[in-house]
Structure 1
């Protein structure tokens, strides 16, 4: 449900940006064309969809942490889950998956690089962050 709401909000932001783009190009919306700020419209058209996507992906990463926490509580062994994630990460580094980026949300570990830009647009938090979070749950 959370992802559905996030996707709806992202879609609404993108739709508003598209409407602003159409208004800029076709003059829809009335008023004198001289009082429009084209730079503000261009920034809105470009930045709004990017911001909406970043928010949606941040929610996805937060849900991954929540799923890890729930699994740790269910199994009662967060260290075993952390070890399993580490083994998956090691295997992924040894034999990289060459797949369509659209399938990234279906994967267990994040295969993108660790810099801030790629992590901003990734569906999963870094494996090291997930492991660190799991190890905090140990009693």
Structure 2
């Protein structure tokens, strides 16, 4: 039996050109990609897609909630999802310990390296949990 499943990434970015560039890089690397342009849209996508493995979110988003609010919610409610928060400015708010901060601008290679590292670390942690339960 083949347990391979394409990893799914939710990209939350309000700047369309940046969102499309990130999505293209991820899709070219073999990831399934879901997009959202606001925190509320991202919450809807999270509710519709149980298969999301990784969230990449910008900090500054339109509306009342920002990317840090989204990262905190996902870390609390869906701890199995890896989280990358990205911004061109320094983040003064505390991020959950499991969240990785990726400064902008970032090359496609840097993004893909970080994504791969986050997913590999999460996969290893999930495997440890499964072994401990067995």
Q: Does the pair score TM above 0.5?
A: no
Choose between structure 1 and 2: higher strand proportion. Answer: 2
Larger radius of gyration: 1
Choose between structure 1 and 2: higher helix proportion. Answer: 1
TM-score, with structure 2 as normaliser? 0.22
Higher relative contact order (CA 8 A, sep 6+): 1
